[in-house]
Amino acid sequence: MNDMNLPSYLDQSPEVRDRFERLKQRPVTLEVKGLHKQFDSVQGKVTALKDINFKVHKREFVCVIGPSGCGKSTLIRILAGLEQATEGEVLLNGEAVDGPGPDRGMVFQGYTLFPWLTVKKNVMFGLEVSGRGGLPEQEAMQWIDLVGLSKFADHYPHQLSGGMKQRVAIARALANQPRILLMDEPFGALDAQTRAKMQSYLMEIWKNIDVTILFITHDLDEAVYLADRVLVLKAHPGEVQEIIEVPVPQPRSVGQQLSPEFLATKKRLEALIHPPGEKEAEGDHLNMMRMVRVDDDVSDIF
């Protein structure tokens, strides 16, 4: 598959087309080749990921979406070196990934801060563990300032909102200056308003830091708003179904979510994840017993 091809359902403006042409010329930061992942179960071998192939270019923002159970989190854990693939390889700047490393930052959905450490100490932790020279405290404060939390440097995680905690997690992940930032549904537990703010924060950080981002999400609006390209996985097993170039011009704004380009891209993603005529999965049907009078129908109210 040529993962940089223009999808036929949308035309790109000359500006967007030129941007993708320039993107193709950038070095490849991450390359995934022939990736398979199997698990043992009581029923035997279960294939979670099958023949995954794609490339991510320097300073690119790629989102990964797919139906529940398609292996999104398994994929990102393999990229982070937290799990081993059954077959295939992951290359970061041409070198094989065989375990965790400071060249990859990771942000999870859950709040992974150390509750007994302050914001500053949480960010310093990664610097100290990696053996970075210099002044960890001074460097940590630079990253804390980047995410707009300088006033909260001496606060503990329980004193922060959910969005603030994730901003600290992003600062901690970026402090080691990784080549790629891997994010596994980092805003999934946030309310809608905070989530929108975090998306804007992340876009600003990405514009100002030399980092490539691979972002797992189940939210189609989020994927279209953030990504240069969206990688769509099939389920059971997880396979690359399509890689879509997002034709919404950069820089992005909330107002673009009503643009024809945005809505058409979202519609295409919906069609890929929930194709027309898709059979209802076992267990999805609600077989409910009626517990009100037959003549008591809520549809009569409207």
Q: 117 and 43 share a domain? A: no
- Would you give per-residue pLDDT tens digits along the chain (302 residues)? 445 544 444 566 787 788 888 888 899 999 999 999 998 878 788 899 999 999 999 999 999 999 988 899 999 999 999 999 999 999 999 999 989 988 999 998 887 899 999 999 999 987 777 666 556 788 899 999 999 999 999 999 999 999 999 999 999 999 989 999 999 999 988 999 999 999 999 999 999 999 999 999 999 999 999 999 999 999 888 999 999 999 998 888 888 888 889 999 999 999 999 877 666 555 556 666 777 776 676 666 65
Q: 71 and 14 share a domain? A: yes
| Last residue in a domain, options 146, 177, 208 | 177
Rounded Cα gap, residues 214 and 209, in angstroms: 14
| Last residue in a domain, options 128, 153, 177 | 177
The reply to whether 243 falls in a domain is yes
Measured between its terminal Cα atoms, the distance across the chain in Å is 51
Q: 183 and 85 share a domain? A: yes
At 185, which CATH number? Answer: 3.40.50.300
The reply to whether 208 falls in a domain is yes
Residue 122 structural domain? 110-177
Domain count across the chain: 2
Q: 3 and 45 share a domain? A: yes
The reply to whether 25 falls in a domain is yes
| Last residue in a domain, options 156, 177, 198 | 177
Enter the tokens of residue 7: 């999808």
Query: Tell me, what's the pLDDT at 9?
Result: 47
DSSP, residue by residue, 261-280? HHHHHHHHHHHHHS-TTPPP
Q: 87 and 120 share a domain? A: no
Return the SS3 of 160: coil
As to burial, measured by CB atoms within 10 angstroms (0-12 exposed, 13-18 middle, 19+ buried), residue 73 is middle
The reply to whether 294 falls in a domain is no
The reply to whether 298 falls in a domain is no
Q: 85 and 186 share a domain? A: yes
This prediction's pTM: 0.87
The reply to whether 301 falls in a domain is no
The reply to whether 84 falls in a domain is yes
The reply to whether 281 falls in a domain is no
Whether the CB-CB separation of 220 and 274 falls below 8 Å is answered with no
